[in-house]
Amino acid sequence: MLCSQHWPEAQQSTVHLTEDDQCLPHFQDFLRYFYTGTINITTASALPVCMLADKYHVTSLKKSCEGFMSENVGTPGMYNRAISWRKYARLADRPELKEACDKFIAWNMDTVISSPDWTSIDADDLHSLLKRSDLVVANEVSLLKAAVDWLTDHPEQTNDVLQNIRFPVMKPSELYQYQFSGIGDKSICSYIERKGTLTYQANSVDIKILSEHNDIPSAPFSVRLYKASDSGCPWQLENYSAQGKAPHQIRFTTKTLLAECTWSITFHPKGERVTTQIQRFNNYNYYTEEQIVTDTDNTVLIWRVENCSLDKSLHDHRLAVLLHTFHNGEWFVSAVKTFSSAGMENRVEDLIPQSERQQYVSNNTMRLHFIGQTEWKEYQPTAL
C-alpha cells in the first residue's frame, strides 16, 4: 500500500497520514486488514472503510464494501445509511448502488426520515425528493415533520423546501395537532399557518368549486403513495407454501379531499382456478359434476371501484401495489406496481410472475399493500 507508485510519500522517512473525521474510528481496523485479511463491516463502518480503501487503492476491499452497501440498503431506521451511501454512489459513479439507494429512499420514506442521515441530506437532493409523487410514506404530515426537522439547521431554506409539501391533501385534524406540537422557528410556523388555510379549504369545499380557483391536477393536489388506513389496506398471507388457489377478497375505503370511494379486490396469490357445475343425467338420475374452466398459476388481480362519490368527469382512479421483501429483520417495500382504471372492472393477468415470486416470500409469508388513488382532471364547466 504505502510502497505503491501512487504514494510519493513512500520515499520519505516519515509519513504523515491525514484522515477524514468519519474514517478515524475505523482506521485501526483498516490497518489490521492487511495483516489478517479480514475486517468486520457494518452499516456504520461500510462507507468510512470504503473511503479508506479508495484512498489507499485497496481495490478488493473497496469492491467488498460497495457490495455490502448494495446488499444492505434495506436496514432499520436507526442503522440505515441509504442517504450517505447514495451520495457516495453519485460522486464515485456507481450507478447500480445509486439506483438501489434511490428506490429504497423513495419507497421506504418512513425508515429514511428516522435514520441518522436524514438531517444531513443535501438541499438539492431534498428538493428533488419532495417533488416526487411516488414516495411511499405514512401520510403527508409525516413528510412535513421530516422537512421541519431538516430545516432546524437550514432555516433559510424554509420557503424552498416547504413549497414542495402538499398541504391540500393533508387531513385537517392531523395538521391541526401538529401545529400545536411545539414548532420552534417562527418563520416555519408562519409558513405552515399560511399554507394550512388551503388544507382546510380543500377538505371542506366542493371539488367543483375548488377547481374553479385552483389547478387541481397540479402537484399540490396530487396524492403520493400513502400507507395510512384511509388510503389503502395492508395484506399478508402466512403459511404461503400450504395455500391453494383460493381467491382472497380485500375491501377498503379511501378518502381524498371530500371524495370517498370503496375499492374491491380479488387476488389469486397462488394461481387462478375457475370451475363450473354441470348437470348430467345417468341411469335415470341427475347429478352435478364440477368442470374446470380455467386453471393457471398466474397471480391474477381483479379490482374495481365501487360507491365513488365523485363526478366521473373530475377524476380517474389508479391502484398501486407495494411488494415487500424481508431484510435485516424488517419488511421493506422493494417494488411498486401501478395500474390505471380502464373500466368498471380491471384485470391484471399476472401481478407477480413466477420467476419473481420467491423473492417476495420470507418465513413462508407474503406481504403486499394496496393503495387506491384518485387522480384529478381539469374541471370543464358545462356551457349554458
Residue 1 has pLDDT above 60, yes or no: no
What pLDDT digit, counting tens, does each position of 54-70 carry?
A: 999 999 999 999 999 99
Q: Is 282 part of a structural domain of the chain?
A: yes
Q: What is the CATH number of the domain that holds 243?
A: 2.60.210.10
The better pLDDT of the pair 252, 14 is held by 252
**Residues 135 and 164 sit within 8 Å (Cβ to Cβ):** no
Phi–psi pair at 256, nearest 5 degrees: -130, 120
The pTM score is 0.88
Q: Is 150 part of a structural domain of the chain?
A: no
Number of domains in the chain: 1
- pLDDT reported for residue 273: 84
Q: Is 118 part of a structural domain of the chain?
A: no
Q: Is 21 part of a structural domain of the chain?
A: no
What pLDDT digit, counting tens, does each position of 265-304 carry?
A: 999 999 998 767 777 777 777 767 777 777 899 999 999 9
Domain span holding position 287: 227-376
Q: Is 102 part of a structural domain of the chain?
A: no
- Which helix (H) or strand (E) segment holds residue 212: the answer is helix 207-213
3-class secondary structure, 151: helix
Q: Is 277 part of a structural domain of the chain?
A: yes
Q: Is 253 part of a structural domain of the chain?
A: yes
> For the residues 189-208, what does the mean pLDDT come to?
93
Q: Nearest 10 degrees: CA dihedral of 57, 60, 62, 64?
A: -170
What band does 384 get if pLDDT is binned at 50, 70 and 90?
very low
**Lowest-confidence pick of 192-206, 223-237, 278-292:** 278-292
What pLDDT digit, counting tens, does each position of 295-342 carry?
A: 899 999 999 999 887 878 889 999 999 999 999 999 999 999 999 998
Mean pLDDT (the chain) is 91
Q: Which distant-in-sequence residues (6+ apart) come within 8 Å of 370 by Cβ?
A: 232, 233, 234, 235, 250, 252, 263, 265, 319, 320, 321, 322
**Residues 75 and 327 sit within 8 Å (Cβ to Cβ):** yes
Give the pairing of strands 225-226 and 136-137: parallel
Residue 217 has pLDDT above 50, yes or no: yes
